[in-house]
């Protein structure tokens, strides 16, 4: 074939000047774009994905005539920082090839003047985030703005599609396909299990995109860190490995130390500094730190001034900050795909192997690390199944479309069906959502006069007034942060004897804390934050006031609230398989395999598919420990439901704790005796019908369910987000979503927002879906092992007692205890 070279001469020259040759997948994307086809590019880190994504746009833009044609390419990334980073990276080829291509970013930081100018005179390439795209799509000039759009590039698509942000983006993508039918989309993704899901997302439910896959790169070199100190039975702070991690940092150029939560990051940072005899430049990076401080750390990394950074998921995604040559993953990886992503941060080039070390914090986590290593070796992925589009997100989108040009319900319904998460949306549900947006969707039709949407003479639904548009623009997005309180240094001093203590503020701002965490503390409690041990003094308005503590003070408040991510189903199955087959134990360190042998001797190990339940008495209580390995969230829900059932069986449950691997419940009544008598059946205790009435009753008052509802109410636009400063007006004047939840649940249990909240509960904080799968899996396969003592395996779960809040008490029991406490004092 004598087809002309796919690359224009100046591009070829540029590649040659850099000593590169254009890669096959980059050419493939160029071909697909010429044919007007959408394409998913699946490639490992370092394969030149970004350049591949933009190359077709750059070529087209240089080959066009002199006349500007409005926005040509839209790039969407999950992170603002990534968009800014990509803009910087694009500058090099554009400058060196002397292309006349204008690239701009549009983020929350872009000035109003620049935004207005961008609408009037768009750049050729605009880099933005899903939230900003939603705002653009709902703009009254959306139609002319996007009319000439040729291409959309979606970066880190695998990460975007797993959340409600992905739902929102899919709807905006559907809108873009309607506004600019000539547009084609390019998705950039890490390796995923089911690329077909992403192809449907990218191209549309009925018209999936093409696929270009880049294989492999060098295999990562991953190991489990051998530590000189014993691996603890439980706990998540990984204190035993600090010295070894420090040694690894010394031996490398730049190390990223990944942990799962901010609390762990704080702990690890402090622990590393306490052994940092060489005062190596070790920094801390997590989402709660002040943004300015984070930018400083990022700049120092890029400039090669740091030796190590302790970080959380904030550095998970593909920003290229510097020459990382080692990734240390502290704690359990929780998912194989996440681990791959993190490991990819080191040696960010395809041909060099990434170097990584896994550091389990306890023996169960070691099993999990082992399972993850095997999974990575097989390049097995545990990408979650594709989402079913959330109704609250759809409501937000419907309002957005009404704010731009108005919509015809039939046409919008057809359009929404092309967004793959909504491909199976029933018309009745769509109509319910439109009704919700318009007048609240209530059976009682009393809000017609306050309608937010009105049908105009042309039959289109439009926002009924400017305030509705204003409200929409303030509330756009699907990320509902838990309310954050600023943390400030201050001092507490007694004013007069017996008087209220005065809290003086005005000290340095250290960052932000979740309100619910701050609420668990009382004056005098010590905790780790921003790398130091602070004393909690109180909450003043919307700020947490703290003071510094003397060197060597121990933090009193447990700094770990369990992992942020629950153990993936996929890794859980592998951990269960390791437990069930002693042959596998040879791969484990001696202390861990002897722990498992001891368990086999003193109790038993579950066979594949079995659920082991142990019972034993201890300190006047009766304990039941089960090992479902379904993750902390599902276990927490299980615990709530089990205690309800044990209550009904009159066994007087007192509480339960759980971790990712197991759950321990304790009672005043003797459960083992009740099982022996036949008055308690484990099959019934763990039967699937607990997901019926018991669940409904518990959901009525579950704080987690209320939090879930609040987030749906904000996303769906029922209530407005709280903005900084608004809290000052006091709690009694803001409307509490808990009260709204109670009223709505009682009066209209099938309301669209309650349905949205229940759908979230199935996969989110309550993980009911996974609990259901587990109950099915173990049905009829429960083995009970009555014991005289704690078993080796159960120790790891039992040690959570005292570390985690004990659940299971009904509200009235908590209040009764507080009441009794006063009586006791009075009688003494």
Partner 1 sequence: MTLAAKDTAGVASEAFMLGRLALVPDLSGALYLPDERTLVVADLHLEKGSAYAARGVLLPPYDSAATLRLLGAAILRYQPARVIALGDSFHDRGAEARIDESCLATLRAFQAGRDWLWISGNHDPMISAAMGGTVLDDLDLRGVRLRHEPSPAGALPEIAGHLHPAAKVRMRGRALRRRCFALSPSRCVMPAMGAYAGGLNVRDAAFRPLFGLGFSAHLLGDGRLFRIDQRLLLPD
Q: By CB under 8 A, is residue 696 in contact with partner 1?
A: no
**819 touches partner 1 (CB under 8 A):** yes
Residues 488-547 that bind partner 1 (CB under 8 A): 500, 519-520, 522, 538-539
Name which of 547 and 748 has its Cβ closer to partner 1.
748
Considering beta carbons, is residue 111 or 732 the nearer one to partner 1?
Answer: 732
> Does the protein bind partner 1 through residue 809 (CB under 8 A)?
yes
CA distance 785 to 802: 25
Own/partner pairs for 466-474, CB < 8 Å, 24+ apart?
Answer: 468/399, 468/403, 469/403, 471/717, 471/720, 472/138, 472/396, 472/399, 472/400, 472/403, 472/717, 473/135, 473/138, 473/403, 474/720, 474/721, 474/723
556 contributes a contact to partner 1 by CB under 8 A: no
Closest CA to 32 of 206, 199, 205, 180: 199
Supply the minimum distance, in Å, between the C-beta of residue 713 and partner 1. Answer: 9
Q: Tell me if 668 contacts partner 1 by CB under 8 A.
A: no
Look at residue 543 and give its three-state secondary structure: strand
What is the DSSP code (8-state) at residue 238? -
519: its two tokens: 């609420």
C-alpha to C-alpha distance for 310 and 283, rounded to whole angstroms: 6
What minimum distance in Å lies between the beta carbon of 687 and partner 1? 26
CB 359 within 8 A of CB 279: no
CB of 383 to partner 1, least distance (A): 35
Instruction: Name which of 251 and 668 has its Cβ closer to partner 1.
Output: 668
Q: In what order do the strands lie in the sheet with 621-626?
A: 653-658, 663-667, 621-626, 611-618, 782-786
How many Cα atoms are found within 13 Å in the side-chain-facing hemisphere of 729? Answer: 8
* Among the residue ranges 172-180, 283-291, 644-652, 820-828, the one whose residues contact partner 1 (CB under 8 A): 820-828
Q: How far apart are CA 166 and CA 188, in angstroms?
A: 14
Q: Counting contacts by CB under 8 A, is residue 285 touching partner 1?
A: no
Of residues 466-485, which lie at the interface with partner 1 (CB under 8 A)?
467-468, 471
Among 428, 551, 788, 811, binds partner 1 (CB under 8 A): 811
The CA-based diameter of the chain, rounded to the nearest angstrom, is: 100
CA distances from 471 to 401, 474, 483, 713 (A): 14, 5, 20, 14
CB of 767 to partner 1, least distance (A): 20
- Asked if 731 interacts with partner 1 (CB under 8 A), we say yes
Q: What is the DSSP letter of 567?
A: P
Query: Got the DSSP string for 51-112?
Result: HHHHHHHHHHHHHS-SS--S--EEEE-S-HHHHHHHHHHHHHHHHHTT----EEEESTTS-H
Strand partners, 40: 187, 211
Residue from 495, 822, 827, 828 binding partner 1 (CB under 8 A): 822
Compute the least distance from the CB of residue 402 to partner 1, in Å. Answer: 13
Of 93 and 441, the one with the shorter C-beta distance to partner 1 is: 441
**Neighbouring residues of 726: CB distance < 8 A, sequence distance ≥ 6:** 734
Least distance in Å: CB of 404 to partner 1? 18
Q: How far is the CB of 444 from partner 1 (least distance, A)?
A: 5
Any contact of residue 814 with partner 1 (CB under 8 A)? Answer: yes
| In the complex, minimum distance from the CB of residue 607 to partner 1, in angstroms, rounded to a whole number | 36
Q: Which of 344, 440, 566, 792 binds partner 1 (CB under 8 A)?
A: 440
142: number of CA atoms within 13 Å, CB side?
A: 23
| Binders of partner 1 in range 769-808 (CB under 8 A) | 804-807
Residue selected from 3, 733, 827, 828 as contacting partner 1 according to rule CB under 8 A: 733
Total residues in contact with partner 1, by rule CB under 8 A? 55
**Cβ 744 to partner 1 shortest distance, Å:** 5
Residues that bind partner 1 (CB under 8 A): 439-440, 442, 444, 446-447, 450, 452, 467-468, 471, 500, 519-520, 522, 538-539, 655, 701, 718-720, 730-736, 739-740, 742-744, 746-748, 751, 804-807, 809-812, 814-819, 821-822, 825
């Amino acid at each position: 074939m004598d087809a002309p070279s796919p690359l224009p001469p100046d591009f070829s020259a540029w590649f040659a000047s850099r000593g590169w040759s254009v890669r096959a997948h980059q050419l493939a994307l160029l071909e697909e774009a010429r044919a007007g086809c959408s394409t998913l590019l699946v490639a490992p880190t370092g394969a030149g994905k970004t350049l591949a994504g933009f190359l077709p746009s750059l070529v087209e833009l240089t080959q066009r005539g002199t006349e500007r044609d409005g926005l040509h390419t839209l790039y969407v990334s999950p992170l603002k920082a990534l968009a800014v980073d990509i803009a910087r990276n694009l500058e090099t080829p554009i400058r060196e090839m002397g292309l006349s291509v204008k690239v701009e970013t549009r983020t929350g930081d872009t000035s109003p003047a620049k935004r207005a100018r961008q609408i009037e005179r768009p750049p050729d390439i605009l880099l933005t985030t899903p939230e900003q795209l939603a705002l653009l799509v709902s703009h009254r000039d959306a139609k002319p703005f996007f009319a000439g759009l040729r291409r959309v590039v979606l970066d880190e698509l695998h990460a975007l599609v797993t959340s409600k942000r992905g739902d929102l983006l899919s709807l905006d993508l559907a809108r873009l396909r309607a506004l600019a039918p000539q547009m084609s989309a390019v998705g950039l993704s890490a390796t995923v299990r089911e690329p077909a899901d992403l192809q449907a997302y990218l191209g549309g439910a009925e018209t999936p995109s093409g696929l270009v896959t880049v294989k492999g790169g060098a295999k990562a070199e991953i190991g489990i860190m051998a530590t000189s100190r014993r691996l603890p039975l439980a706990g998540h702070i990984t204190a035993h490995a600090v010295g070894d991690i420090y040694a690894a940092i010394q031996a490398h150029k730049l190390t990223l130390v990944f942990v799962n939560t901010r609390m762990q990051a704080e702990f690890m940072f402090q622990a590393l500094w306490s052994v940092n005899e060489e005062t190596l430049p070790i920094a801390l990076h997590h989402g709660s730190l002040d943004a300015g401080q984070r930018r400083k750390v990022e700049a120092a990394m890029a400039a090669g001034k740091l030796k190590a950074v302790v970080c959380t998921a904030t550095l998970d995604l593909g920003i290229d900050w510097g020459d990382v040559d080692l990734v240390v993953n502290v704690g359990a990886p929780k998912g194989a795909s996440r681990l791959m992503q993190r490991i990819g941060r080191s040696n960010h080039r395809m041909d060099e192997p990434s170097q990584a070390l896994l550091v389990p914090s306890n023996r169960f986590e070691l099993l999990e690390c082992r399972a993850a290593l095997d999974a990575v070796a097989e390049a097995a992925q545990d990408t979650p199944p594709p989402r079913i589009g959330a109704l609250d997100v759809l409501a937000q989108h419907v309002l957005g479309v009404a704010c731009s040009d108005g919509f015809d319900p039939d046409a919008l319904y057809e359009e929404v069906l092309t967004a793959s998460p909504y491909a199976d949306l029933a018309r009745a549900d769509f109509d319910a959502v439109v009704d919700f947006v318009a007048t609240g969707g209530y059976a009682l039709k009393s809000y017609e006069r306050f309608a937010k949407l009105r049908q105009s003479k042309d039959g289109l639904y439009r926002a009924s007034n400017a305030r509705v548009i204003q409200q929409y623009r303030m509330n756009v997005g699907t990320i509902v942060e838990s309310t954050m309180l600023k943390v400030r240094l201050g001092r507490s001093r007694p004013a007069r004897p017996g008087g209220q203590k005065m809290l003086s503020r005005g000290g340095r701002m250290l960052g932000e804390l979740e309100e619910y965490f701050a609420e668990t503390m009382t004056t005098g409690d010590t905790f780790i934050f921003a790398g130091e041990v602070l004393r909690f003094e109180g909450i003043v308005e919307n700020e947490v006031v703290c003071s510094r503590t003397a060197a060597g003070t121990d933090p009193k408040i447990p700094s770990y609230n369990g992992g942020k991510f629950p153990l993936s189903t996929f890794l859980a199955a592998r951990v269960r398989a390791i437990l069930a087959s002693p042959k596998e134990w040879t791969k484990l360190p001696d202390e861990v395999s002897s722990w498992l042998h001891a368990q086999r001797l003193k109790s038993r190990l579950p066979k594949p598919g079995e659920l082991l339940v142990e019972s034993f008495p201890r300190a006047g209580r009766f304990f039941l420990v089960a090992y479902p390995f379904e993750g902390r969230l599902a276990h927490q829900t299980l615990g709530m439901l089990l205690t309800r059932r044990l209550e009904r069986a009159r066994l007087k449950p007192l509480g339960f704790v759980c971790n990712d691997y197991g759950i321990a419940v304790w009672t005043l009544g003797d459960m083992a005796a009740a099982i022996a008598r036949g008055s308690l059946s484990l099959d019934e205790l763990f039967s699937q019908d607990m997901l019926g009435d018991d669940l409904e009753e518990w959901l009525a008052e579950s704080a987690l369910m209320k939090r879930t509802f609040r987030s749906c109410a904000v996303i769906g636009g029922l209530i407005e987000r709280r903005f900084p400063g608004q809290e000052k007006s006091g709690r009694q004047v803001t409307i509490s979503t808990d009260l709204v939840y109670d009223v709505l649940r009682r009066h209209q249990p099938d309301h669209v927002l309650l349905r949205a909240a229940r759908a979230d509960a199935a996969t989110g904080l309550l993980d009911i879906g996974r609990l259901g799968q587990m109950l099915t899996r173990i049905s009829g396969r429960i083995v009970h092992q009555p014991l005289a003592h704690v078993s080796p395996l159960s120790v790891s779960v039992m040690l959570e007692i005292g570390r985690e809040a004990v659940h299971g008490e009904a509200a009235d029991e908590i209040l009764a205890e507080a009441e009794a406490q006063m009586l006791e004092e009075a009688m003494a």
